[in-house]
């Protein structure tokens, strides 16, 4: 604390003064000075409180760490250590002792008001149709489209190169010359329909042309009995729900 006061609260200068006075000792981290000063202001002493030890970890340390995590579950070990003056190893041991683990978010579809109720109604309808006709689901042409670009999807967790020495391998990404393709495909029963390459920016007119001209060609090998009772499924893409497309499908 003497060096911190002499440096007028400058942790870098306090660290330098401490190193000059004690050249044979390990240089403390500059955050140690801040933490000690904070304890001095709060408790009147710069020393850490000595409480009952539980599994090698002080109870006050545990309480501080657990409270920080409870207030902000998205925090990190580094942030808790910086804010409390507790070492990262102590924070990590405390979380491990209390079985507090980091869990990743799962991306899910954004829903609007009423979507959950409509989805439930749709599921009940599908169950009723399937119960009444065991072949109902087999007569649905399930379709979707997806855009693929040059970057693709790289799973760095599984990407590796085996060698006796570090080959310093590099992977080119973020290409200056980019391209993408919009691919449509469908499946009905055991038949795969497509794939078909749609325009990169799908419009209602382009989708209607696909339904009128290209889709019938893909369905030529499907049994007539299946086609006569077929249901066509697609999602709520604006091109799918346009008036001209809905009118064509209804007809």
The rounded distance, in Å, linking the Cα atoms of 145 and 222 is 20
Q: What is the pTM of this model?
A: 0.51
Is the CB of residue 64 less than 8 Å from the CB of residue 86?
yes
Superfamily name and number for 133-151+179-251:
Ribonuclease H-like superfamily/Ribonuclease H (3.30.420.10)
Q: Positive or negative, the Cα torsion across 110, 111, 116, 121?
A: negative
Stretches in the chain below the pLDDT threshold 50? 50-57
Nearest residue to 236 via CA among 63, 97, 115: 115
Distances (CA, A) of 68 to 8, 32, 53, 79: 29, 19, 20, 9
Please list the residues that pair with 146 across neighbouring strands: 183
Where are the chain's structural domains?
2-97, 133-151+179-251
- Give the Å distances, CA to CA, from 41 to 17, 32, 38: 22, 14, 5
- Count the Cβ atoms, other than its own, within 10 Å of residue 104: 5
The pLDDT assigned to 167 comes to: 77
Q: Which residues pair with 140 in a beta bridge?
A: 231
As a whole number of angstroms, the distance between CA 120 and CA 59 comes to 49
Q: State the pairing for strand pair 57-58/53-54.
A: antiparallel
């Amino acid at each position: 604390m003497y060096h911190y006061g002499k440096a007028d609260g400058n942790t870098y200068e306090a660290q330098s003064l401490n190193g000059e006075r004690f050249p044979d000792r390990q240089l403390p981290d500059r955050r140690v000075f801040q933490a000690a000063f904070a304890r001095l202001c709060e408790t009147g002493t710069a020393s850490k409180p000595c409480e009952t030890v539980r599994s090698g970890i002080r109870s006050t340390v545990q309480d501080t760490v657990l409270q920080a995590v409870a207030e902000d579950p998205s925090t990190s070990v580094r942030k808790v250590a910086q804010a409390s003056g507790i070492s990262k190893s102590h924070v990590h041991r405390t979380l491990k002792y209390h079985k507090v683990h980091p869990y990743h978010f799962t991306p899910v579809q954004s829903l609007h008001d009423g979507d959950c109720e409509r989805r439930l109604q749709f599921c009940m309808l599908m169950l009723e149709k399937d119960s009444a006709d065991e072949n109902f689901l087999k007569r649905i042409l399930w379709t979707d489209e997806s855009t693929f670009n040059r970057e693709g999807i790289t799973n760095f967790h599984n990407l590796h190169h085996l060698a006796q020495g570090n080959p310093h391998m590099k992977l080119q990404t973020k290409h200056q010359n980019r391209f993408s393709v919009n691919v449509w495909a469908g499946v009905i029963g055991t038949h795969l329909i497509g794939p078909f390459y749609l325009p990169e920016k799908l419009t209602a007119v382009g989708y209607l042309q696909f339904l009128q001209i290209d889709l019938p060609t893909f369905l030529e090998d499907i049994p007539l009995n299946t086609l006569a009772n077929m249901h066509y499924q697609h999602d709520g893409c604006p091109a799918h729900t346009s008036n001209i497309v809905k009118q064509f499908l209804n007809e």
